[in-house]
């Protein structure tokens, strides 16, 4: 991985391109090994370090203390890493946080509740899940409808 990072850094053509180095070593080899790799990735020139799957707040804090490059935290819904407030992540040295499952998790639960209601009640009236009322606008339908009107016989 260190060689891959060095190659990516050398091949970078634009300053806007960021090299994010991720280690998954925490799960199989422990935090010490993950931090050892993170240090190697820093030295290889990675711009952002991503230590995947810390298992406690203490581990997140330790990562922040031992890694000097910008850090990425992965806040996965129901994952191994505790979900921590952004301010605490910042305090511990994390510069980026991603929430890759949040939208899917919320949408899936809303769909489950809605379909369960429809099955039980035989109607979508009274569904408890909030509904997004501007879906047509979000999808760009008004522009499509305007286009269709211009070409309609």
Helix axes 2-11, 31-44, angle to 10 degrees: 30
Asked if residues 96 and 70 have their Cβ atoms less than 8 Å apart, the reply is yes
Q: Which of 34, 39, 46, 66 is nearest to 4 (CA)?
A: 46
Here the tokens at position 2 are 């260190």
pLDDT digits (tens, 9 = 90+) for 113-152: 999 999 999 999 999 888 888 999 999 999 999 999 999 8
Give the chain's domains with CATH numbers.
2-100 (3.20.20.60), 104-151 (no CATH)
The predicted structure's pLDDT at residue 129: 85
More confident residue, 132 or 42: 42
pLDDT digits (tens, 9 = 90+) for 55-73: 999 999 999 999 999 999 9
DSSP state at residue 45: T
Beta strands at 94-98 and 71-74: parallel, antiparallel or unpaired: parallel
- The rounded mean pLDDT for the chain is 96
Looking up tokens 């509740």 gives 113
Q: Can you give the pTM of this predicted structure?
A: 0.80
- φ and ψ of 70, to 5 deg: -55, 145
Give the span between the Cα atoms of 41 and 5, in whole angstroms: 7
């Amino acid at each position: 991985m260190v060689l891959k990072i060095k190659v990516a850094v050398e091949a970078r053509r634009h300053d806007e391109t960021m090299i994010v180095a991720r280690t998954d070593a925490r799960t199989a080899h422990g935090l010490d090994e993950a931090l050892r790799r993170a240090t190697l990735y820093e030295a290889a020139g990675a711009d952002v370090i991503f230590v995947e799957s810390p298992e406690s707040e203490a581990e997140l804090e330790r990562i922040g203390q031992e890694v000097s490059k910008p850090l990425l935290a992965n806040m996965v819904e129901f994952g191994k890493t505790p979900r921590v407030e952004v301010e605490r992540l910042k305090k511990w040295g994390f510069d980026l946080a991603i929430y890759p499952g949040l939208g899917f998790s919320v949408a899936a639960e809303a769909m489950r509740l809605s379909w369960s209601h429809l099955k039980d009640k035989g109607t979508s009236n009274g569904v408890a899940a909030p509904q997004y009322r501007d879906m047509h606008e979000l999808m760009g339908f008004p522009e499509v409808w305007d286009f269709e009107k211009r070409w309609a016989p």
